[in-house]
Amino acid sequence: MTYSLTGKLALVTGGSRGLGKSISGALAAAGATVIVNYANDVESAEQTVKWIRDNGGEARAVQADVTDEEAVDQLIKQIGEETGGTIDILVNNATGAQPQLSIEESEWTDYEAQFRFFVKAPLLLTKAVLPGMKMKRSGRIINIGSEVVQLGNARFANYVTAKSAQLGMTRSWASELGPFGITVNVINPGFIPVEKHAETPADVLAQYQNNVPLQRMGVPDDIGNAIVFIAADEANFITGQSLSVNGGNTFGV
Ligand SMILES: NC(=O)c1ccc[n+]([C@@H]2O[C@H](COP(=O)([O-])OP(=O)(O)OC[C@H]3O[C@@H](n4cnc5c(N)ncnc54)[C@H](OP(=O)(O)O)[C@@H]3O)[C@@H](O)[C@H]2O)c1
């Protein structure tokens, strides 16, 4: 079965590089028009848009800091003006720096920084796209989580805590928005090397991979493919779920 997203308008936060680039490409390849959001690196965003267009897809880059309320309102307004449409598929993917810190090294602001990306930004964006989704009585809100919620990695509680909060938020939103035909799910990548992991030592990758039942590192397209499925009409009875895409590295929710 091939999933079609023709006629859908998708917004991928942090869609310019890393997993977001693959998610943007996969949604566009399935027929969606994709808004590739970025914060700082316009060159990567334009390259991603060109890559999508060269492959026959439709995309445009829009800059916005998704942790800022005014910027999010402006982003959604700009998308409406430029496309004449409303968002059908929202992928909350953007991330900032992810410092690994012991408890003693941590300040509240380190936790707050992660909450800004994984709780505040999805809240701002979801509020902004809801009027259009409620009017259409359909929509997809897809949060990018992480397997760290299952693993509880040491010295990483700022990130783990925020991703855990995002999971609870996903379930609550699924309950609230189900009656409107809007599904809310979280997709949990395993460790999937992207551009920023170029310097990761081979032994670190090998050690991770050895524990993965499917015995390989994930690739960004593994996430893009899962997102296309969850975004498709065929997944319209799936909501409030936590789907790990990590070769079996974790089990359970
Ligand atoms: N890669 C993995 O192994 C892995 C594993 C588990 C979960 N995840 C999750 O997957 C998602 C993507 O991770 P990644 O590793 O692909 O990230 P990444 O390569 O670091 O890319 C981050 C993206 O977010 C954008 N961004 C940063 N600050 C922003 C802001 N304030 N507003 C809007 N966009 C902003 C960046 O744009 P600029 O370049 O313009 O700043 C970039 O497009 C995250 O939610 C992450 O937690 C990743």
Please give the Cα distance from 57 to 32 (Å, whole number).
8
3-class DSSP state for residue 112? Answer: helix
Among 19, 35, 204, which residue has the most ligand 1 atoms within 8 Å of its CB, making it the best to mutate?
19
Distance CA 24, CA 15 (A): 6
Q: What is the mean pLDDT of residues 226-241?
A: 98
Given the CA of residue 63, which atom of ligand 1 is nearest to it? 33
Q: Work out which ligand 1 atom sits closest to the CA atom of 223.
A: 10
Give the pLDDT mean for 56-79.
Answer: 98
For 139-168, the pLDDT digits (tens) are 999 999 999 999 999 999 999 999 999 999
Average pLDDT, the chain: 98
CA-nearest of 180, 11, 3 to 83 is: 11
37: β partners: 62
Q: Provide residues with CB under 6 Å of ligand 1.
A: 13-14, 16-20, 37-41, 44, 65-67, 93-96, 144, 146, 189, 191-192, 194, 196
Structure confidence at residue 91 as a pLDDT band (50, 70, 90): very high
Q: What is the mean pLDDT of residues 113-132?
A: 99
Residue 88: band (very low, low, confident or very high) from pLDDT cuts 50, 70, 90: very high
Whether 191 and 162 have beta carbons less than 8 Å apart is answered as: no
CA of 17 to the centre of ligand 1 (A): 7
CB within 8 Å of 231: residues ≥ 6 apart: 3, 5, 8, 10, 27, 30, 32, 89, 140, 142
Cα separation, 20 vs 78, whole angstroms: 20
Catalytic residue among 38, 111, 159, 208: 159
How many whole angstroms separate alpha carbon 91 and alpha carbon 13? 6
Residue 61 CB contacts under 8 Å (≥ 6 apart), including other chains: 16, 35, 36, 37, 38, 42, 45, 46, 48, 49
Ligand 1 centre from 179 Cα, in Å?
A: 31
Residue 162: name the closest of 129, 204, 120, 107 by CA. 120
